[in-house]
Amino acid sequence: DVKVTQSSRYLVKRTGEKVFLECVQDMDHENMFWYRQDPGLGLRLIYFSYDVKMKEKGDIPEGYSVSREKKERFSLILESASTNQTSMYLCASSPLPSSSYEQYFGPGTRLTVT
Amino acid sequence: AQSVTQPDIHITVSEGASLELRCNYSYGATPYLFWYVQSPGQGLQLLLKYFSGDTLVQGIKGFEAEFKRSQSSFNLRKPSVHWSDAAEYFCAVALLTNRDDKIIFGKGTRLHILP
């Protein structure tokens, strides 16, 4: 059974902290994605990666960075967390090309920045 | 610009009633189309997808969707809903151009079921 796991389901951080969200997939997929989900705004793409050490900006990359050192792992980094980054964060993976395949999602991390 | 519109933010239906969730897209070519479902506290799960061929697509959990090119629509239907269908539903369009290879999601429709 395919699986995408995220390191935390719930996370509470303080403003200014550096935050790491980890995502691991066991399907040998080339593509990995980070989205944030907010009520009324749906899913918005933050960053994606189609290969190890490769990254591409999505629609809302400001305030975020990513790291992909291994094929199965894709990390989202908030360099200095702010309250407007309180959100649900979803990781997904898919084979290439991403438009031709479904994306497999993790359960999400609900991040609260106080 | 390419876009996906789900005009209904919330829909409420009675258990056992039929359901139709609307999705319209704006895209120059025939897109790849998806419907995902998100149960409370969970990630998204694929219900069904359309790439080509028969415009009526069957999915999991008794759902189906029909692609209508003339209306740029891909509406999701179910003949009789169950309480467990209460969730948020997302329509998505895949782009494959020289510049983009990604999926655009609609903003979602939250389905409420009355007992």
Is the per-residue pLDDT at B57 higher than 90? Answer: yes
Q: Which residues of B touch A106 (CB under 8 A)?
A: 43
Rounded Cα–Cα distance for residues A6 and A25 (Å): 9
What's the pLDDT at A90? Answer: 96
Q: Does 3.40.50.720 match the CATH number of domain A4-113?
A: no
| pLDDT bucket at B101, cuts 50 / 70 / 90 | low
Task: Give the residue-averaged pLDDT of A37-51.
Answer: 91
Is the per-residue pLDDT at B30 higher than 90? Answer: no
| pLDDT bucket at B51, cuts 50 / 70 / 90 | confident
Specify the number of domains making up chain B.
1
Task: Give the residue-averaged pLDDT of A26-49.
Answer: 92
**CA dihedral defined by A72, A78, A79, A85, rounded to 10 degrees?**
170
Task: Give the residue-averaged pLDDT of A55-60.
Answer: 92
| pLDDT bucket at B96, cuts 50 / 70 / 90 | low
**CA dihedral defined by A43, A101, B98, B67, rounded to 10 degrees?**
-80
Max mean pLDDT range (A47-56, B73-82, B97-106)? B73-82
Per DSSP, chain A holds a count of helices (H) and strands (E) of: 0, 11
A100/B96 Cβ within 8 A: yes
**Sequence spans of domains, chain A:** 4-113
Is the per-residue pLDDT at A98 higher than 70? Answer: no
Question: Hey, is B59 helix, strand or coil?
Answer: coil
Interface test with B, best of A29, A43, A104, A110 (most B CBs within 10 A): A43
Rounded Cα–Cα distance for residues B59 and B69 (Å): 19
Residue B46: closest C-alpha in chain A: A102
Q: Is A106 on the interface with B (CB under 8 A)?
A: yes
B41/A108 Cβ within 8 A: yes
Rounded Cα–Cα distance for residues A23 and A15 (Å): 23
Task: Give the model confidence (pLDDT) of A68-80 as tens digits.
Answer: 999 999 999 999 9
Distance from CA of A80 to the nearest CA of B (A): 26
Is the per-residue pLDDT at B41 higher than 60? Answer: yes
Of A40, A90, A99, the CB nearest to B103: A99
Q: Tell me which residue range forms the domain holding B41.
A: 3-114
Is the per-residue pLDDT at A60 higher than 80? Answer: yes
Q: A7-21, A63-77, A97-111: lowest mean pLDDT where? A: A97-111
CATH number, domain with residue B104 = 2.60.40.10
Is the per-residue pLDDT at A96 higher than 80? Answer: no
The pLDDT mean for chain A works out to: 93
